Amino acid sequence: MGNLLQQLALLGALMLSGGLCVNHEERLIHHLFEEKGYDKELRPVVSPDEVVDVYLALTLSNLISLKEVDETLTTNVWLEHGWTDYRLQWNKSEFGGVEVLRLPPDMLWLPEIVLENNNDGLFEVAYYCNVLIYDTGYVYWLPPAIFRSTCLINVDFFPFDWQNCSLRFRSLAYSALEINIHLKTDSDPDTGRSYPVEWIIIDPEGFTENGEWEIIHRPARKNIYPDIPLDTSEHQDITFYLIIKRKPLFYVINIVIPCILIAFMVILVFYLPADSGEKMTLVISVLLAQSVFLLLISQRLPATSHAIPLIGNPCGNASSKTMLSARYLLFIMLLVTAVVIISVVVLNFHFRTPSTHIMSDWVREVFLESLPRLLGMTQPTESPAGAPCIRRCSSAGYIAKAEEYFSVKSRSELMFEKQSERHGLTSRITPARFVPVGVDSGEEQPYEHIKPAIDNANYIVKHMRDENSYNEEIDNWNRVARTLDRLCFFLITPMLVVGTLWIFLMGIYNHPPPLPFAGDPYDYREENKRFI
């Protein structure tokens, strides 16, 4: 009997001790959700006309990429939520001093803040982590997310461009009459004063820098649209902006410099002689190379007609912007196309002959007289009077002298000329040897004997003179082609140099604005907090 009483007493003590060791968090959860009858489908308000204040902040962990073709910005972020739910308040002294609870988000009411300008159809966060609930009823939720948002790409100055991308958040389930979205407020540790967090938060220890893009500005704003009714979800939103500038080193080394070098090869066409037969080969090769570069760049950029890339400055309107932003590749392709046409014209002039074309007086005056002097081209000098003829003129000169020589010497003198000179005999040939009119046929016989030879010599002289005139006309057409080559060299080279410098300097000096928003003097940085 005594042993039975002892066993009952021990069992009661164990039951009593077990009751005293009940988990305080479990009791608190049972109190909040069972005893109070918490309903997660209802807003945390006492009356329906009250508005729930929701505070948002964005912490950027990594700017993963900006795909220009898809106009998609991919970021790794933490989206911070904060609001007060009066139904989740408790007296911590009644629950063993518990100040905070960590619960799954599907147990609570959520404001359902989503990324409106997403580009993949995923509006929500990637991972639903636990929610922190404080004894004051304040609910804190910090879910991670990888967002793919739309970003309108401006390719005006590619690859020296900067982009203004944004992440726009709003509640799709509740209107502005039900919840009011604000930027998160924080307090300064030194002064204790409160200020709104008007920027994207970046933790230096947890942030991974992007190799292609540099973040210039990262402001945050609450936008209110008065034209949209309050009873719709579009009346308000919180927008986080990322103004980023491209790091152009990769494109300068791999695209810009080769493109410029190939473009300047086109001026070598004007140095290449037309007789080489390679003028058209060189200029077409440059045109094809520029087409390859244009194809490479087109694969990197979106299919947009808003602007032309620099390797392809706003000035008031879209039309003037397009006019002033005549991009480099298009400029080079137009220039090379013009050089192709010029090369065809030069070759046409070079291979002209007197049988197909007659050179007009103005062409002779402009391209053989005026332009060569202006362009510093040396002209062939004419032989002075009495000087021996050269090249083609030599044969004709010798034949002309032979004609005169044979007309004043008899056959016997021609036969024994060398012998008479060897024995010291003087020549008997005088101009009187010409056969005058009225002499008898006996004295006229030596002249008549060599007359066919003289006629043949005259024919040869005439033929040589015609050939010299023909060849001289061909040389004149060649000189016209060389003059046109030199003229186009002096015209195309400055255009190429000035166009290259103008376009690329315009891109190099294309900097993001010093302030995020035009007309707003605030720079939206942590160093310049605006205290409330």
> Which pLDDT value is given to residue 324?
33
- Contacts of 212 by beta carbon, 8 Å cutoff, 6+ apart: 65, 66, 246, 247, 250
pLDDT at res. 91: 92
% of the chain at pLDDT higher than 90: 41
Count of C-beta atoms within a 10 Å radius of residue 365: 11
CB atoms within 10 A of CB 345: 13
Residue 393: what pLDDT?
Answer: 46
State residue 7's pLDDT score: 46
pLDDT of residue 42: 92
What's the pLDDT tens digit per position in 194-253? 999 999 999 888 898 999 999 999 999 999 999 999 988 899 999 999 999 999 899 889
The model's pTM is 0.72
Considering only CA atoms, which of 413, 270, 404 is closest in space to residue 343?
270
pLDDT of residue 382: 56
- Name the packing angle between helices 257-264 and 328-350 (round to 10°): 20
Quote the radius of gyration of the chain (alpha carbons, Å). Answer: 48
pLDDT in tens, 240-275: 999 999 998 998 898 888 888 988 999 999 988 888
What are the structural domain ranges in the chain?
25-247, 250-417+433-520
Q: How many Å apart are CA 438 and CA 446, to the nearest integer? A: 15
pLDDT per residue of the chain (532 residues) written in tens, 0 to 9: 455 445 444 444 434 444 444 688 999 999 999 888 899 999 999 998 999 999 999 999 999 999 988 899 999 999 999 999 999 999 999 998 999 999 999 999 999 999 999 988 777 787 889 999 999 999 999 999 999 999 998 877 888 889 999 999 999 889 999 999 999 999 988 888 999 999 999 988 889 899 999 999 999 999 999 999 998 889 999 999 999 999 989 988 988 888 889 889 999 999 888 888 888 999 999 989 888 887 877 777 666 555 556 665 433 333 334 333 347 878 888 899 999 999 999 999 888 888 888 888 888 888 888 888 888 777 666 554 444 444 444 444 555 555 555 455 554 454 445 555 545 544 444 444 444 455 455 555 666 778 788 777 877 887 788 777 778 888 888 888 888 999 999 999 999 999 888 888 888 888 899 999 999 999 999 999 999 8
Q: What distance in Å separates the CA atoms of residue 477 and residue 359, rounded to the nearest whole number?
A: 8
Angle between helical axes of 392-408 and 441-508 (0-180°, round to 10): 170
pLDDT of residue 323: 34
* Residue located via tokens 């966060």: 125
> 493, 509, 502: which is closest to 161 by C-alpha?
509
Q: Is 424 left (phi over 0), alpha (psi -120 to 50) or beta?
A: left
The predicted pLDDT at position 28 comes to 93
- Give the per-residue pLDDT at 100: 94
Q: Which residues pair with 66 in a beta bridge?
A: 73
Q: What is the pLDDT of residue 444?
A: 56
- CATH number assigned to the domain covering 25-247: 2.70.170.10
Other Cβ atoms closer than 10 A to 199? 23
Phi, psi (rounded to 5 degrees) for 339? -65, -35
